[in-house]
Amino acid sequence: MDTKKMSQSRTVKAMLVLPPDSNALGTMFGGKVMSYIDDIASISAFRHCRQQIVTASTDSVDFLYPISVGAMICMESFVTWTHKTSMEIYVNVISENLKTGERMVCASSFLTFVAIDENGKTQTVPQVIPETEFEKELHNSAPERYKRRMERKSQSKKLAEKFPVERLK
């Protein structure tokens, strides 16, 4: 199986936060941030495996600080760990006040993507190689996150089986 460096999937995206992106408080909608996170993570996943991918899960999105209208939002993502057909992607969201230059990490998230073929059948992905100390830290802690993800998925399936779908008629 091929291997790839984490840096080969690194993706950076920046944009201005405009009024249509914001709530009544003048800060960016959390759902918009989540959409951007999924978008940039999917690019990193695709770059890593060079195959069609689908989002399998989002561990969480931790909103640390609000992002104001007029700020620049800059996101960085890269593959941190791989399993047989899945990839864990880390996304960091930074805001920058363009007048003062002040930058802060406003959100972060881990997502999982799965590689598939044109029939939706899962495909094997290359292993990922960490290079920097931060990348090694993320890579080494990934198996524990994977374990928690599998436990959470199992619980979600159990809840889904119990949910009375008839209520939604």
pLDDT at 80: 98
What distance in Å separates the CA atoms of residue 141 and residue 98, rounded to the nearest whole number?
Answer: 34
- Output the domain CATH number for residue 126: 3.10.129.10
pLDDT at 166: 73
Residue segments in the chain with a per-residue pLDDT below the cut of 70: 1, 167-169
What distance in Å separates the CA atoms of residue 111 and residue 79, rounded to the nearest whole number?
Answer: 9
Quote the domain boundaries for residue 130.
Answer: 3-168
Is pTM, for the whole model, over 0.85?
yes
Overall domain count for the chain: 1
To the nearest 10°, report the CA torsion of 81, 83, 86, 88. Answer: -20
pLDDT at 129: 97
pLDDT tens digits, one per residue of 46-95 = 999 999 999 999 998 989 999 999 999 999 999 999 999 999 999 999 99
First-to-last alpha carbon distance for the chain, in angstroms, is 48
pLDDT at 169: 67
pLDDT at 165: 76
